Structure 1
């Protein structure tokens, strides 16, 4: 719970009463490895803050291939924000790569925080903007790099993730085959 509060306080100030209210709206939950937190076709009803583990965000392309968009690790909010805000079905899957623990905020709980805490919407807006900027940085840097550069960039930016993610999912994220990833890993050692 403290990691959640510390994260939020990076984006704005809260007094102790407000912190206690935020804590009261968070519900502890867990996922086992390979379980889905969110599935395409379903409307997201909560926002989560991942406290332990890795979640993979993916989709299926028009050929039925499972494509990894990105990975989320500890101390990050996770939400399909477009589907959540508009109340429309998600087009993405969110799957536990490892056993995960998280704090869930229901839509009603978030609305109550918005109505009760002055400045809450500004904090959430800053958190959302940071998440979108991080996503854009990941995507734009990968588009200009070859496969080896993408892998090295991944290792630099996410040093603790490479050994926690199955090779097939990492290869999908990097946009290469698993055999290409194995070759790249062998060549850079």
Structure 2
């Protein structure tokens, strides 16, 4: 819970007293590797924070194939914003890639807290803006370069993800086939052993 407290301290918007009060409303939730936090077509009514672990966010294409959209890492909040705000079933699913320790807060509790702690709304707004900007920056490299360039950039930016996330999900995220990624990794290992 220390990481959650630290992130809630971001920007100095919330006082230590406010943070303590807000954190007391979060519930601990452990996810085993492969377990879903949220399945497709469910209405999202809670926000989660990853204290430890990695969560994959994915959708299904028109043929029903899973397409990895992004990964959520330690010290990050995650929510299906569209489902959360519209109360419509989610088109995305959230799955633990490794054992995860998360903290969750329900929409109704958060709304009540925003009334009690006015700065919480400001904090959420600034955090959401930062997260969206980071997501744009994070996904920028996916649109440029060949498979090798994208994979090397992925490894540079996210070394822990490259080590812990199964290869097929990394391939899906990079929009290349698992076979291409496997060949690429072999080439790179061979090149490093010369």
Distance 1:139 1:19 in 2: 31
- Checking the alignment, whether the CA contact within 8 Å between 1:41 and 1:91 is kept in structure 2 is yes
Distance 1:12 1:102 in 2: 23
Distance 1:12 1:61 in 2: 41
> In the alignment, which residue of structure 2 is the partner of 1:103?
103
After TM superposition, give the deviation of residue 109 of structure 1 in Å. Answer: 1.5
- Checking the alignment, whether the CA contact within 8 Å between 1:58 and 1:67 is kept in structure 2 is yes
> In the alignment, which residue of structure 2 is the partner of 1:181?
181
Q: Provide the secondary structure at the position in 1 that maps to 2:153.
A: helix
* C-alpha RMSD of the superposition: 1.1
TM-score (norm 1): 0.96
Q: Deviations over 1:74-115 (max 9, x none)?
A: 110000111101111110010011111100011111112210
Distance 2:27 2:11 in 1: 22
Consecutive unaligned residues in structure 2, runs of 5 or more? 190-194
After TM superposition, give the deviation of residue 140 of structure 1 in Å. Answer: 2.3
Give the alignment of 1:1-189 within 5 angstroms: 1-189=1-189
After TM superposition, give the deviation of residue 171 of structure 1 in Å. Answer: 0.7
Q: Provide the secondary structure at the position in 1 that maps to 2:43.
A: coil
Q: Provide the secondary structure at the position in 2 that maps to 1:71.
A: strand
After TM superposition, give the deviation of residue 145 of structure 1 in Å. Answer: 2.1
Consecutive unaligned residues in structure 1, runs of 5 or more? none
